[in-house]
Amino acid sequence: MRFKIIFLGIISFFCSFFIYSQTRNDAWVDMFSYLKVKNLQRVGEKIYAQSDNAFFIYDTASGDITKISSINGLTGGNISNFYYHPDLKKLFVFHQGGLIEVIDAQQHVFRSPELAYNQFIAGELKEVNRIVAKGDKLYLATKYGVSVYNLNRNEFGDTYYFTGSTGNLEVKSVAFFDHKIFVATISGLYYADENANLINQNVWTKIDNNRWNDLAVFNQTLLGVRYKTLYQVTTQSQISVLSFSNYIRKLHIQDKLSVVFDHEIKVYNQNLVLEHSFDDSNYAHERFFDAVDYDDTIFIGGDKHGVLKSPLQQQQYVELHPDSPLSNHAFAVDTRDGILWLAYGDHFEFNPYPIYKEGLSSYQNKSWVNIPYDNFQISDVCFVKINPSNPQEVYFASTKNGLIRVRNNQIDQIFNQNNSPLQMLGTDGVRVFAIDFDSQNNLWVTQLMHPSLLKLKPDNTWETVSLNSILSSPNQDYHGFSDMKIDKDDNIWFGTDPTLLGYNPKTQNLKSIKEGLQNSAYPIVQTIDIDKDNIMWVGNREGLRILPDPQQIFDNNSVEFKPIKIVYEDAVQLLMEGQNITKIRTDGSNNKWIATLGSGVYYFNEDGTQTIYHFTKENSPLPSDDVYDVAIDGSTGMVYFATLKGLVGYKGFATDSGDNMDDVYAFPNPANEKQHDFVTIRGLIEGVNIKIVDVEGNLVYETTSKGGSIQWDLTAFGKYKVASGVYIALITNDDGSKTQTTKILVIK
């Protein structure tokens, strides 16, 4: 079969460049993991290393490391393979699912989507196993056959299929040798004259019926991999030249031949004489993916430590990678006072399986601190909470191991059935879910067993609360709890299926409410937040609801959640209706960040009637439209988005209220109306009045701060852009006892 979509590819290139130019900016921060390196390529003095969804380049001469990620314009999707063409100076990136991205020398990113759009090939088959360059073409060994990609025209040409008993065969590798093309498949080895009409299956000759995993030309010899044996391959025979006790993962040809196994690398000279061996004896649970030699040095791509560099003459590893968290499987995140903690887990339908044995990561003082899984054997952490009175103390809820406490970056305590009221679920572990602190520094904890609500006090003693009076099925052994929010009066709010539960510790009053919440196949309240106007925001799989003054639930039996109604094109719509909402968080300006599965992240004004931003993987560096958690650092305005394809940070403007206004400032300053949409005034106290006037004293804008910052859109009360000139922000509190001013220069 032959497929070409030339016009579509050309359109895609221009559209993709436009998207890239809109999203590459300094507002985003790359916080991806680069510790799993799957493929390597040496180009001159540089080593290209591919991680899950990004790259880094190691310069062997200078020692510099350069990152390429969604911050630079990549989609952030999972990468199956890549090839750097030294003559064209272009990096070709092949994603799982078929998308191809091309990065030129100026780091412009172009996208070639024709394979991704091809409906005749299943998406799970659009994965590139090996790449061979010949002339102006790349030959791609894929799960459906061999596809030819034209480098000059940036388009697909022919595809060669090899048919087995169950359909098209997966191709593991391609090689050109002696004017012939050889193809290794999972059910045989094929060859044909390279000048033949290769789309005609009749020109191909099958010379072996076994599974072949790799092919490579080394020292004018074609080598092939079959299970644990390396063969010399000709059209007439396959002669065993080296046999091993383990399965061969891959061959890499550079100056020498590197034979890659899961836990070992063997390096051979031109005569296939073993010169060097490298293993993972110093790295527990490491797995090797690729290896390349250069200048008497071996570079090994592995599962947990980036690239391991060692002299060929001895095994003496140095880790090469950007400063990174442990994994891109970012599920839960919390941040406070410049410290961020990240955990890797899941709790779909409150089930921890499959188990994620990744560890914990923290970003502090502009570098990562990692606690690997091997250090403490804790898995599936689904909630993180930093102690507001002591940022060096952090708690983690695990759906397998209970409650974990970290102090000063070390595991300090693990609370489980042996030292707390937490209970085992049979033999399946201690399943802890939502956690939060109250104003007295008590940590409130939910678990999947009775008692379902618990309090860990600062003196390490526990109290328990029975929820039997409000649970929908009190005789059931367990309930799951999705999120928790403690309000300013220390009332405890947490979500379950399908209701919102409330507990007043002072009166010991328990309430549940589901009136007004949407019905669905899985109607659990997934996220809760209470904003600065004391309005509760609740999200589930079907959308968003709000409830003013939630404390009324304890005294009023007729309380009901309501949707937010907005008018769009003369029609009334319900905000976020039908969206699967995973997290709602209120920032220092009382605006709302709302994360979803499938639609990225929304940023709304305080009442939800205006969309300020809507970030997706198409218009921003978000690596996925499925966002599981959002954390806001009120001291800096930074906003973090956790996805299962990595963590990214966004430099937001909204900060928490300060104690004084000694450090009030405006930025950007000067503000260019052609380049900037807003000016931010930071360093405020909540509730102060801000008047912006021109030099003649004419009022052009007025507002009251909800937190430590406000934004001005450079207009006169939203009607028209102000003229160039100097503007003065006059800031005062209610009684006039605290005042401050700052100047803003506006230019056109």
Residue-wise pLDDT for 67-86, tens only, equals: 999 999 999 999 999 999 99
Could you give all domains of the chain from N- to C-terminal order, each with its CATH number?
1-30+73-160 (2.40.10.480), 328-481 (2.130.10.10), 665-747 (2.60.40.1220)
Q: Alpha-carbon distance 747 to 724, whole Å?
A: 5
pLDDT at 101: 95
* pLDDT tops 60 at residue 474: no
Class of residue 748 by CB neighbours under 10 A (exposed 0-12, middle 13-18, buried 19+): exposed
* pLDDT tops 70 at residue 358: yes
Choose among 289, 287, 280: nearest CA to 310. Answer: 280
Choose among 106, 114, 105, 77: nearest CA to 93. Answer: 77
Choose among 330, 321, 254, 261: nearest CA to 289. Answer: 261
Choose among 303, 292, 300: nearest CA to 316. Answer: 300
**Per-residue confidence at 476, pLDDT binned at 50, 70, 90?**
low
Strand order in the sheet with 318-320: 288-294, 297-302, 307-311, 318-320
In one-letter notation, the amino acid at residue 75 is T
pLDDT at 51: 97
The DSSP 8-state label assigned to residue 18 in this structure reads H
* pLDDT tops 80 at residue 161: yes
Residue that has been written with the tokens 């191809």 in this structure:
100
CB 247 within 8 A of CB 227: yes
Q: What is the mean pLDDT of residues 180-201?
A: 96
Please report how many Cα atoms fall inside a 13 Å half-sphere around the Cα of residue 279, on the Cβ side: 4
CB 320 within 8 A of CB 299: yes
**Per-residue confidence at 2, pLDDT binned at 50, 70, 90?**
very low
* pLDDT tops 60 at residue 21: no
Q: What is the mean pLDDT of residues 271-283?
A: 94
Enumerate residues 6+ apart whose C-beta is below 8 A from 710: 589, 680, 681, 684, 690, 703
pLDDT at 17: 38
